[in-house]
Chain A
Amino acid sequence: EDQVTQSPEALRLQEGESSSLNCSYTVSGLRGLFWYRQDPGKGPEFLFTLYSAGEEKEKERLKATLTKKESFLHITAPKPEDSATYLCAVPGGNNRKLIWGLGTSLAVNP
């Protein structure tokens, strides 16, 4: 069964303390992976699409990487405004639906 697992469930960092979030998946024939950011009480905001293993994308303090088994979201020198829940998702078998992880809740303390 296709599945997406995110770890850790929650992460608390000090401002400037870099770290990584993990998204591992078991799907037949990976066709890519999405990362989203969600603030409390709001809809998810699109961050990145990674299409194939080895691909990397960056946006400000965020860098997403993809291997054949997992993706990492690296956060470099985070700021309090980076506090949010980060979600990853992969296309399901028929490409019409996404399979979602439960997310990592990130808190960055000033």
Chain B
Amino acid sequence: DGGITQSPKYLFRKEGQNVTLSCEQNLNHDAMYWYRQDPGQGLRLIYYSQIVNDFQKGDIAEGYSVSREKKESFPLTVTSAQKNPTAFYLCASRRTSGRALETQYFGPGTRLLVL
């Protein structure tokens, strides 16, 4: 089955700790995205990557970092600089065929909680 997997489903972070959220896709998509979702605020873009070894900041990149060493994988690290990390984190991917409208497909999400 093709799809996007995110792990873990729940993640607990202690004060001053960096944590890494995993996102893997086997859809052969070039572009991958990380969103943060808070109640009443909708989906906000953290980082995105159009191709391996390249990524761009989204609207709320401060306190986060990413890497894109493999086409299938786009891990997100929530650093200690992110003071309010409690949220639902969503990973998405899409093809980049040159058409303007390629659908983004989402993973099941990771809920990050602060201890």
Contact = CB atoms under 8 A, between A and B. Distances in A.
Contact of B101 (A45, A49, A97): A49
Task: Indicate the member of B42, B50, B88, B105 with the most A CB atoms within 10 Å.
Answer: B42
Nearest to B43: A100
B48 interface: yes
Contacts of B48: 96-97
B50 A96 contact: yes
Nearest to A46: B103
Interface in B36-82: 40-43, 45, 48, 50, 56, 58
A8 to B, nearest CB: 14
A97 B109 contact: no
Interface string A8-33: 00000000000000000000000110
Given A43-B90, A43-B107, A46-B105, A95 B100 contact: yes
Contact of A91 (B4, B101, B109): B101
Interface residues of B, number: 25
Contacts, number: 53
SS class, residues of chain B in contact with chain A: strand
**A interface majority secondary structure:** loop
Most A CB within 10 A of own CB, among B31, B101, B108: B101
A44 interface: yes
23 contacts: A31-B100, A34-B104, A41-B109, A41-B111, A42-B108, A42-B109, A43-B4, A43-B90, A43-B108, A44-B43, A44-B90, A44-B106, A46-B105, A46-B106, A49-B101, A87-B43, A95-B100, A96-B31, A97-B45, A97-B48, A102-B41, A102-B42, A103-B42
Given A42-B109, A102-B41, 8 more contacts: A43-B4, A43-B90, A46-B106, A91-B100, A96-B56, A97-B45, A97-B48, A102-B42
